[in-house]
Amino acid sequence: MAKYTALAQDILDHVGGAENVNSLKHCVTRLRFSLKDEGKADTDYLKQLDGVVTVVQAGGQYQVVIGNHVPEVYAEVLKVGNLQGSGTVDADEEGPKGNLFDRFVDLVSGIFQPFLGPLAAAGIIKGIVAILAVTGMSHDNSALYAILETAGDGFFQFLPMLIAITSARKFKMNEFTALAIAGALVYPTLPATIATLSEAKLAHVLGIPFELPSSGSYLQTVMPAILAIWVASHVEKFMKKITPDVVKLFVVPFVTLLVTVPLTFLVVGPVANIASDLLSGTFTAIMGFSPLLYGLLLGALWQVLVMFGLHWALVPLAILQLPELGWTTILIPASLPNFTQTGVLAAIYLKTKEQKVKTLTVPAFISSLFGVTEPAIYGITLPMKTPFYISCVVSGLVGAALSFFDIKGYSFGALGIFQYPAYVGPDGLMPMWIMIGFSVVAIVVSFAIQMALPVPTLYAKAEVAEPVASTKTVTEQVIASPLSGEVIALEDTPDAVFASGAMGRGIAVEPSLGEVVAPADGFVRLLFPTNHAIGLATEDGTEILIHVGMDTVALNGEGFTAHVTQGSRVRKGQLLLTFDIEKIKAAGYPVTTPVIVTTPTSDVQVTDADTVNVGDYLLTAIQ
């Protein structure tokens, strides 16, 4: 983005400087400034500035029209002006859209994304430690082993600390206050303190139990830290509003800690224990009813249980079963999900066109072989969703098969490819060979299913797009109508920027049906977060912008639904967006929809029809 630095500085200087900016956000084509005094802005200069299409003053906003590169220019303006941006929507409206699961996935993957590299590296080190353990090394007889074990386990042990930092960024609170809260969660003497208080029947505050999860601590946990920081962010936000500036520096973090830490221990701990007890009782009942069903459910749900820390509900049962019987079957169906992750990761590596995904997949693949799946789940498969579903389904089927063969384990500890000796016992080597066989099945089946299905994109922006848009020379591209309705000349649209042709040449449609479909084969180059505008690049390299309505960005997505994601490949006629025409009109916005060619062309010829239906001829881009 360095090439936009000079432009960004010039724009900022001529809107009156950073000190004249109340807030800044952007839509699909424009920087939308809220200025303290618009009289300080040099509109004439900005209109003539290379890189600026025009300037529009409307709706209490000072709009600098940039075009397709507005996200890059926006980011650079924030940087050079040291501004806090409002993104594409109001701060209170920011965040993932969609159903609850989609929001959860976006939240968790966003929190883990910043430290995926070190997470994968720590996972590989844990694998090296496992290899050394097979040779007889341990922290009791080798300093090297002890150092490497610390290097690998330390990251996972204190995961709540890292989660606190990224969660604080996600929930917009002070990172150091968040770290203080996480530090309380992993305080080293806390488990012993609670045990002592419990023996004296003093482990309660105002009658509320002071408890830890079934694991005995919050080390290696994920959800408690996220929940604690979410609560803390709301406490901090409230305190900032009511605290006088003169004491805000220490009063805000003081109250935030004072409220959040006890609340976390007094709510999260008991709730986690109740959930664990219910889960333990449920799975025990299912095992008594049908071991096959138990294996299916535990195998399918294990990765989800681990994400929430609820897998600890079953670990004590296995620990008790082993010394009592000399063997255990409780956790056997959950022994191989790491290999279903291995399979989908291999397929993702072979099929993805995103270099960043390939780079992340390699260490995650290695870690999964050693039984460490966090880099795979949080960095790749869960954000992509489909690979995660495949992994869970195949894990369930493998778990049911292991229950059918009544495989027993005779020891605990090893994971991944080092777990097999645990199945050698009175029955000889056969259980071990069965486990190895189903490990191969888990990898092969999950690999085959993922190879047969599309691999979702993660970093869609233009990694996939660039080669398509730049390897062919367009001479003539026919574009079908993406909408049904009345045809309107572009110069007759109620927006000066589109009407002037500054954004490109094209035509507009007054839609009679609230649907937008793909006008040609290609891919989604840009999908605005509020779903009111979409940019496509055809297979011949022509770029099309479809902007539903005028100033509809102000609706913040209300009335709009996207049926594709940025980076998606689309076929002509495929549904892209739906929108509520009456709702948009009721809010006072026109639904007139420009369809413009944003790539340089020598000519754009448009239909002479008065009305069009979806799929009818609309325009031809000639280059």
Of 459, 484, 519, the residue that ends a domain is 459
If you compute the radius of gyration of the chain from its CA atoms, what whole number of angstroms results?
29
Range of the domain at 380: 100-132+291-300+313-459
Could you give the count of Cα atoms lying within 13 Å of 180 in the half-sphere of its Cβ? 16
617 and 507 both lie in a single domain: yes
214 and 226 both lie in a single domain: yes
Over residues 429-471, the pLDDT tens digits come to 899 999 999 999 999 999 999 999 988 877 644 333 333 333 4
492 and 616 both lie in a single domain: yes
pLDDT at 197: 83
553 and 591 both lie in a single domain: yes
**What is the rounded distance in angstroms from the CA atom of residue 124 to the CA atom of residue 118?**
10
568 and 594 both lie in a single domain: yes
- pTM for the structure as a whole: 0.53
480 and 558 both lie in a single domain: yes
Residue 542 domain flag: yes
Three-state DSSP class for residue 539: coil
pLDDT at 95: 44
352 and 470 both lie in a single domain: no
**What is the rounded distance in angstroms from the CA atom of residue 446 to the CA atom of residue 452?**
10
425 DSSP β-pair partners: 428
For residue 178, the surrounding DSSP H or E stretch is: helix 175-185
Q: What are phi and psi of 596, to 5 degrees?
A: -125, 150
193 DSSP β-pair partners: none
Instruction: Supply the CATH number for residue 81's domain.
Output: 3.30.1360.60
pLDDT at 502: 75
Residue pair 57/63 in contact by the 8 Å Cβ criterion: yes
**What is the rounded distance in angstroms from the CA atom of residue 499 to the CA atom of residue 485?**
19
pLDDT at 87: 52
Residue 522 domain flag: yes
pLDDT at 561: 93
Q: What is the dihedral of CA 338, 340, 342, 345, to 10 degrees?
A: -130
45 and 67 both lie in a single domain: yes
**Which residues in the chain land under pLDDT 70?**
1-2, 28, 58-59, 68, 85-103, 106, 109, 214-215, 309, 312, 316, 319-320, 413, 459-476, 602, 623
Three-state DSSP class for residue 160: helix
Residue pair 413/311 in contact by the 8 Å Cβ criterion: no
Residue 95 domain flag: no
Residue 93 domain flag: no
* 90 contact partners, CB below 8 Å, separation of at least 6: 25, 556
Could you tell me if residue 180 is left (phi over 0), alpha (psi between -120 and 50 degrees) or otherwise beta? Answer: alpha
Q: Which amino acid is at 74?
A: Y
Of 459, 476, 511, the residue that ends a domain is 459
Q: Is 392 a catalytic residue?
A: no
Q: DSSP assignment of 228-284, as one string?
A: HHHHHHHHHHHHHHHS-GGGHHHHHHHHHHHHHHHHIIIIIHHHHHHHHHHHHHHHH
Residue 94 domain flag: no
Domains contained in the chain, number: 4
In terms of Cα–Cα distance, which of 544, 497, 500 is closest to 63?
497
pLDDT at 469: 39
550 and 591 both lie in a single domain: yes
Catalytic residue among 27, 182, 301, 520: 27
**What is the rounded distance in angstroms from the CA atom of residue 613 to the CA atom of residue 616?**
6
